[in-house]
Amino acid sequence: MTLFVTADPANVHHIYTQNFQNYPKGEECAEIFEIVGQGILTTDGDLWRFHRKKLLLAMSRNCYNTFIAKMTQEKIENSILPFLSNAIEQRLAVVDLQDMLTRLSFDMTCILTFGTDPGSLSMEFPVVPFAQVSDDATATIFFRLSRPSAWWKLLRFFRIGPEKRYAEAKVVVDRFIADAIKKRKREMFEGKHVCTDLLYSYLCDENIPNSQEFLRDSILSFLAAGRETVSTSLCWFFWALSQNKQIEEKIMHELNFIHHNTTPKGMVIFDPEELENLVYFKAALLETLRLFPSLPFSFSSVKEPDLLPSGSIVTPGMKIITSAYAMGRMQKLWGKDCMEFKPERWISEKGTLLHVP
């Protein structure tokens, strides 16, 4: 368990750009994250490049982007606003924002992945087995990351402790994904109108393997990446606004000048296209991601000995951990006010968004 932890931008640039081939995720990563199979999250080399190419191709299509905008707006109108309206009518003193946003992002990720809304965000807050076991699997992955492999492999062999829950989670996950793929293939075979979601795009691509295993790993990687990252970022965003009233007021002022629709209960819905030119709003989102990155750290392995820009030498067998969380709070990068939530740091003197590498 030899770790090299860095937040040096020069090191990070070297590892992920200049000498990327020398820092694969490695076989240990594939073992630790075995539940997601051979998807984009765990693979290296040609298979990773293939996954990346196909995913970017699917997500860059105009029809997919239109689908995202339409589904997001419908989900906000039919789920989030009714839920908040009900909370107001019931005079609820507390609303669990994190739970609500996690359910929202899970539903949205499922819709965008295979066109099905599991309906986890509703007034009843139903228990969705897939979402529940995903949390168990995530906890076990962190357990594996922080223990010697011999220890968690022993637990896996005897199927006890967190490894027992991990094995049970894999069964539920496999069944959930298999059912979604089976349903979509049946709809396409019967000639029914289907959504232009990610699974549909993959099934229509003759160059993508049609095997159950490949589709399962690709779809699950997308689900795993989308569920927690979006909800975590949104939760921190609203928390930051709650701590900075003047920033909230600036965003509300900016929103007043764009077109919006009003629901019968007086709630406001914006068209996604209308939000494109909101500079301060986007700056506040960027500032949220600086202080509270949705992926706080990443890790990789070392293929060959290498000298990093900081002067450190890394060797095979080391686990490299890069911390975006620490990098976003470094005084030498962001100044003495680095711990302050300050969207203005992302806005130029001309009033446009600044690009920060």
| 185-212 pLDDT tens trace | 888 888 876 778 889 888 888 888 888 8
Q: Which pair of structure tokens corresponds to residue 171?
A: 């069964």
Task: Check: CB of residue 219 under 8 Å from CB of residue 199.
Answer: yes
Least-confidence region, from 122-131, 171-180, 286-295? 122-131
**CATH number of the domain within which 139 lies:** 1.10.630.10
| 265-301 pLDDT tens trace | 788 888 888 888 899 999 999 999 999 999 999 989 9
**Average pLDDT of the chain?**
91
Q: Does any domain span residue 323? A: no
One DSSP character per residue, 127-174 reads: --HHHHHHHHHHHHHHHHHTS-HHHHHHHHHHT-THHHHHHHHHHHHH
Q: Does any domain span residue 59? A: yes
- Which residues span the domain enclosing 56? 46-231
Q: Does pLDDT of 31 surpass 70? A: yes
Q: Does any domain span residue 240? A: no
Residue for token digits 């929202």? 104
Please give the tally of structural domains in the chain. 1
Q: How far apart are CA 157 and CA 135, in angstroms?
A: 21
Q: Does any domain span residue 70? A: yes
Q: Does any domain span residue 173? A: yes
